[in-house]
Homo-oligomer: A and B are copies of this chain.
Amino acid sequence: MLTYNFAEAQGALYEYIYQRIKDDIMEGNLRQGEKLPSKRAFAKNNGISTITIQNAYDQLISEGYIYAIPQKGYYVAKLEGMKKVQRESSLSLNINMPEERPVYAADLSDNRMNPELFPFSIWAKVLRRTISDKSGELMEASPAGGIGELRTAIAEHLKSFRGMLVDPDQIVIGAGTEYLYGLIVQLLGNGKQYCVENPGYRKIVQVYRQYHITCRYADIDEMGMTFEGLRDTGADIAHISPNHHFPTGITMPAGRRYEILAWANEREGRYIVEDDYDSEFRLNGKPIPTLFSMDACEKVIYMNTFSKSLTPTIRISYMVLPVHLINRFYRELSFYACTVSNFEQYTLAAFMKQGYFEKHINRMRLYYSRQRKKMIEAIKKSKLNEVCEIIENDSGLHFLIRIKTDREDVEILQALAERKIRVNALSEYFFTPSEKKHCFIINYSNVDIEQAGKACDVFYAILAQ
């Protein structure tokens, strides 16, 4: 007869009995085929209710540790694999989480938006109204490409802001640009050759690599990716940011755009991914028309994100596909649920429709253009100005400076880091060894200008050493 010390029992008694019998089975005290005491005998012997024993036995049956033979009783099940998988040594729980971003005196590599600019109270208001007005829609599955209202709002934004004529049904919404890069590979195939800009944005290469794609690199000149560079890679897909190259800020002129479009037209299966990640922040003149708008042959996939214009912590990006590709998307990939929550899709749709998005962008542009001006003034006032040239491109949330020096970039970065100043060099964005050096990237979107000014003096002091 099984005897357990019920005085130890914590919680439900049936759980205690269940656990003890299970332990006995696992430790071999109860063996395969062994008969367990009848419920009645077990209960009586221990002065507890048969219901309690019944519950414990039921749980053991449902987990498969014992089985019942009607009119006969309960028996220990066969558990052959058990011995092989029992813990032999305790495993260490040694998890290496990535380190937190260190604290710098000035961090000019920080290209995040200024969090204070996020329109919390308006967003909260629109969200609240969405929850009260849309309870039905919020519970309905979103189409794979995203909910219609948001796609319509984006199409209208693209029309008024980018001069793009787009059917809302051509738009696919996803949880971040990286996610959409993955969808593009699934759509176009990973047997293709992909070419990116050199220098360029490293994450594109990292995402593509996850799909077993080894990116080719095409050099850029002062007009962006060169036609010859692209052609020589033998690529099928060109992933570029013609409106504002990262990190140089170069805008590709019309002539080069037509060359790249002509390249895509030369062969079936060639495409251009136009990454328009920060087009909202062109500070002067009309925005540059997109490659997508210039394309008449369904060769361009346009991508954009709300990470820069709203916040990266709400994960919403989108792409606009040529008609034959959106049809392919719905044919082959629409089993995927849209990765963005309905709550945020409907909220963003209302936020855009009610004009808040446009206002917010205008406010941010004003803020960033002032911030840019202040940053340039800070450099001009500092000693660094004696040895540096500011390279402006009227756009984005950063600019470049070129430094007159004989020292190596890595040395300079190292010396800056020791003084708690973080800056990125252009040379860090090359995928292949490059002669291009002494250019540094000044991100001003989220920097304390006073600290940045001091950092410029330190920068100068390091160069003067």
Contact = CB atoms under 8 A, between A and B. Distances in A.
Interface of A: 15, 18, 55, 58-59, 62-65, 77-82, 84-88, 91-98, 112-113, 115, 118, 120, 123-124, 127-128, 131-132, 135-136, 138-144, 167, 169-170, 175-176, 178-179, 182, 186, 190, 203, 206-207, 210-212, 223, 251-263, 265, 284-286, 288-289, 294-298, 311-316, 323, 326-327, 330-331, 333-344, 394
Contacts of A93: 167, 323
A139 B110 CA distance: 14
A271 B439 CA distance: 48
Contacts of A142: 313
Contacts of A59: 285-286
Most buried by B among A92, A175, A179, A256: A175
Given A123-B131, A253-B64, A339-B175, A261 B85 contact: yes
A55 B285 contact: yes
A58 B212 CA distance: 43
A87 B337 CA distance: 35
A313 B81 contact: no
B62 A265 contact: no
A403 B411 CA distance: 78
Given A77-B254, A79-B254, A178-B336, 11 more contacts: A55-B285, A59-B285, A77-B255, A80-B255, A84-B262, A86-B296, A88-B296, A92-B323, A118-B135, A127-B127, A314-B343
28 contacts: A62-B251, A62-B285, A62-B394, A65-B253, A80-B255, A81-B261, A82-B258, A85-B265, A95-B169, A95-B323, A96-B327, A97-B330, A98-B330, A112-B141, A113-B139, A115-B139, A118-B135, A118-B138, A120-B132, A138-B311, A175-B340, A178-B337, A190-B212, A207-B336, A313-B341, A315-B341, A343-B344, A344-B344
A261 B81 CA distance: 7
Nearest to A64: B253
A212 B186 CA distance: 10
A262 B84 CA distance: 6
Given A178-B336, A286-B18, A289-B63, A140 B81 contact: no
Nearest to A78: B255
A433 B306 CA distance: 47
Contacts of A323: 91-95
A64 B264 CA distance: 20
Contacts of A175: 175, 179, 315, 339-341
A100 B96 CA distance: 46
B170 A81 contact: no
A182 B315 CA distance: 18
Contact of A85 (B132, B144, B297, B338): B297
Contacts of A344: 341, 343-344
Given A135-B120, A179-B339, A261-B81, A296 B255 contact: no
Most buried by B among A95, A132, A289, A338: A95
Most buried by B among A59, A64, A254: A254
A79 B334 CA distance: 39
